[in-house]
Copies of this chain bind each other. A is one copy, B any other.
């Protein structure tokens, strides 16, 4: 297939490489020339604008930091919609708010194009290995149409429902994740303070009703799970600032929907405290530091 790829950051670059490996033809665009070079060396064609990158292609994929960037790339001067042919499908793999997705899909439809939201989970590791999970929002037809392209970059291509439900799925999952991690943190720290061995406590929780990914795979207490970021100084995982971004999307979506998210809003403040203390780049499980008595007031 002929594909335009916009956004070659930590996630986008390895995803684009996997498309090339799978034999697709790629136009690429990014503001960062180093990122572009790595892809042209692998066979992609560099383009000067998003508009140029999306001319004469069958699919456009965007992988950008926030909704404002997607909007600019889509509808700004030299944006995609100014250059694209009818019937081209735009796949946005950025993590953004569902309301923006709806707006972008309407804009694309007016232009004769289909817009599919397809945010991912799996991190940079999954992007490189081509094992990402894609959560796809769009019609059944659109889902079938994008599936073969996404399969070059991921292992699980899940159809979540109509437009924007891919973002909804991602946001809701990460809402649970942000809450369970902070919850496990307070239980592990309480247990430590009350004199139980953290490994024993972790073992009990992981075989009981408190069992969760945040405890059995990513336990925030150092040493409980050998492969977790907590055991290597909270490095190399899912950063606190990224969790904060996703909880921000959840908070905003909930506000628009007039849905309360008591625990989610509170958990967001805990990660915000970590970020304000300079720990925004640490893995989000470092939130346990707020509970363990290691510092001064």
| Cβ-based interface call for A230 (8 A) | no
Copies in the complex: 4
Q: Is the CB of B194 within 8 A of A164?
A: yes
Among A7-15, A31-39, A54-62, A208-216, the stretch in contact with B:
A208-216
Q: A172 touches which one: B169, B201, B254, B268 (CB < 8 A)?
A: B201
Q: Is the CB of B265 within 8 A of A266?
A: yes
| Cβ-based interface call for A205 (8 A) | yes
In the docked arrangement, what's the CA distance between A194 and B170, Å?
12
- For A, the interface residue count at a CB cutoff of 8 angstroms equals 90
Q: Is the CB of B266 within 8 A of A210?
A: no
Q: Is the CB of A187 within 8 A of B195?
A: no
| Cβ-based interface call for A286 (8 A) | yes
In the docked arrangement, what's the CA distance between A75 and B172, Å?
36
| Cβ-based interface call for A6 (8 A) | no
In the docked arrangement, what's the CA distance between A250 and B160, Å?
33
Q: Is the CB of B255 within 8 A of A182?
A: no
Nearest opposing residue in chain B for A133, CB measure = B208
Q: A204 touches which one: B135, B180, B289, B290 (CB < 8 A)?
A: B135
- Tell me the dominant secondary structure on chain A's binding face: helix
A window 39-70: CB within 8 A of B: none
| Cβ-based interface call for A131 (8 A) | no
In the docked arrangement, what's the CA distance between A170 and B186, Å?
14
In the docked arrangement, what's the CA distance between A191 and B168, Å?
6
From known contacts A212-B176, A253-B190, infer whether A276 and B260 are also in contact, taking CB-CB under 8 Å.
Answer: yes
Q: Is the CB of B261 within 8 A of A164?
A: no
Q: Is the CB of B209 within 8 A of A213?
A: yes
Q: A276 touches which one: B171, B208, B211, B293 (CB < 8 A)?
A: B293
Q: A195 touches which one: B168, B177, B209, B277 (CB < 8 A)?
A: B168
> Which residues of the other chain, B, contact A248 by a CB distance below 8 angstroms?
255
17 sample A-B contacts, Cβ–Cβ < 8 Å, listed by A number: A161-B200, A165-B195, A172-B210, A174-B210, A175-B187, A175-B190, A175-B210, A176-B212, A183-B183, A186-B260, A187-B264, A212-B212, A212-B214, A248-B255, A251-B265, A263-B267, A290-B297
Chain A positions near chain B (C-beta within 8 angstroms): 98, 121, 133, 135, 156, 158, 160-162, 164-165, 168-169, 171-177, 179-180, 182-184, 186-191, 193-197, 200-201, 203-205, 207-215, 218, 244, 248, 250-251, 253-255, 257-270, 272-280, 282, 286, 289-291, 293, 295-297
